Structure 1
Amino acid sequence: MKRLLLTPVFMLGLSSLASAADAVVLEPTPEVLPAGFVWTGGYIGIQGGWQWGRDHTFESAGGVPTGLDEDLDSDGFIGGLHVGYNWQSGQIVYGAEADFEFSTTDGGYRIAGPDGTDFDMNWQGSLRARVGYVPTERLLIYGTAGLAFANLEYTYVQDETTFESFDETKAGWTVGAGVEYAFTDNMTARLEYRYTDFGGVSNLSTVAFPGNTYDHDPQFHAVRIGLSYKF
């Protein structure tokens, strides 16, 4: 009698388990898509370009202007290394960058005599902030500004026979803008323009024109191209 009663109960249990199994719907595992390119990360690279500048030589004697106020134009190749780090938030990218370059920038002028002044920039560098906008995933349009520093050398020339040189490592400021494109996940190329101003440079001549003071105001424009490896 007990076996007759247990059999229907057992069959009912199996039926319930089968119904529960039919109710389970197996969802397919969602496909994990690879993340798109992001600008966040450190990078190091090379850069080079052309720089041109406009300076003045203003002469005074005992604080009294002598009337000499000559333009001093210069230009030359610049090239070196840069290193930095970017952070990306949405379509905004911000970061910091430092660079160091050797320079062949030089120039000068001559007046009757011939007397004059020669100029050379031996090296320069900068430490800057960068802020940019990403209109498409791999294109960055940015602005940059910060501290600049350089070694500036002036040579006073009297009658092409007496030469007096002095150099000064001078700090100033720089500002510019550029575009950068990531053509692989690790390599980017850039084109950048910057303006740099080193303020005033003053020197009292003791050899070529003793007692005369010369004031300069070196300012430069530069266009650079660069290639970076992103970590």
Structure 2
Amino acid sequence: MKKILLGAAALAAIAAPAFAADMPPRPYTKAPAYTAPQVVYNWTGFYVGGHVGGAFAGGNSLQSNDARFLGGVQAGFDYQFAPNWVLGAEAQYSWLSSGGNNGTVFPGGTVVTSNNDQLGSVTGRLGYTWGPALLYAKGGYGWRDGNNLGVSVAGVPAGFTTNGNRKDGYTVGGGLEYMFAPNWSAKAEYQYYNFGSTTFTSGPADITGRSFRDDEHTAKVGVNYRFGWGGPAASRY
């Protein structure tokens, strides 16, 4: 029995290397490459924010052509679709400094002063987005505080009448907005306001019949806080 066991052990020792040599090699499996998550930006949602900038009256205007400081607030809603287009609506209100307007002097010595210190708008806007950037155009209703007029001769107030609304008009503009952090975006924007024209229908002779355009050019930078949807909305793997 002992001889049989010793013989079996010896046979196993001889056969083991040969059996191992006949086994196929273990296949090599490469580790999958790491793919960074893709950030998806979504502009859909409500937002509120503030802005600062400057306002400049157009040519042939009674308002001072000097730059005036403006600052204000805005609020709106955007909807992203198709998938890189953004449609929205925005309400905006701005306060303006006086700009040191001392009045316009006419050939007969009549002085006309004009000052408006508020601008507002309700606009639609349409934009195209790629990643965190949004390029947009806007347009709609424009409003101001009435461009208060004053007429005087040799320092004495003079009576006058005008036509033209001076308060209601239209506005168009465009800008670039950028999401710089979750829920936060910054923008740079140009906006033009047109309120028609004002014509003096009566008053001192050197101003009667004269017409002046009522418009404003503005340039603004601002920041918006976007509720819930601003910034990275999801990650795709």
Report if TM-score (shorter chain) is over 0.5: yes
5+ residue gaps, structure 1? 1-32, 58-69
For residue 111 of structure 2, what is the amino acid of its counterpart? G
Q: Computing the radius of gyration over CA atoms, which structure comes out larger, 1 or 2?
A: 2
Matches within 5 A, 1:190-229: 190-205=187-202, 212=208, 214-229=210-225
- Aligned pairs, how many? 185
1:102 to 95, 101, 110: 95
Matches within 5 A, 1:44-193: 44-54=48-58, 56=60, 73=65, 75-89=67-81, 90-106=83-99, 107=101, 108-112=103-107, 114-135=109-130, 137-151=131-145, 152-162=147-157, 170-193=167-190
Q: Determine the C-alpha separation between the residues in 2 that align with 1:183 and 1:71.
A: 37
> Which whole-Å deviations, capped at 9, do the CAs of 1:161-206 have from their partners, x for residues lacking one?
3356999661111111100011111111100001111012345456
Q: Which has the higher contact order (CA 8 A, sep 6+)?
A: 2
How far has the Cα of 1:54 moved from its partner? 2.4
How far has the Cα of 1:35 moved from its partner? 6.2
Q: Determine the C-alpha separation between the residues in 2 that align with 1:144 and 1:226.
A: 16
Structure 2 length as normaliser, TM-score? 0.68
Is the CA contact 1:78–1:105 (under 8 Å) kept in the aligned structure 2?
Answer: no
Is the CA contact 1:87–1:95 (under 8 Å) kept in the aligned structure 2?
Answer: yes
Question: What secondary structure does 1:218 align onto?
Answer: strand
Is the CA contact 2:166–2:196 (under 8 Å) kept in the aligned structure 1?
Answer: no
Q: Determine the C-alpha separation between the residues in 1 that align with 2:63 and 2:207.
A: 21
Ranges of 4+ aligned residues in structure 1 off by more than 3 Å: 70-75, 105-108, 111-114, 163-169, 202-206, 208-215
Q: Determine the C-alpha separation between the residues in 2 that align with 1:76 and 1:211.
A: 26
How far has the Cα of 1:36 moved from its partner? 2.1
Structure 1 length as normaliser, TM-score? 0.70
**Percent identical:** 25
Is the CA contact 1:55–1:72 (under 8 Å) kept in the aligned structure 2?
Answer: no
Is the CA contact 1:153–1:166 (under 8 Å) kept in the aligned structure 2?
Answer: no
5+ residue gaps, structure 2? 1-36, 228-237
User: Aligned-pair RMSD on alpha carbons?
Assistant: 2.9
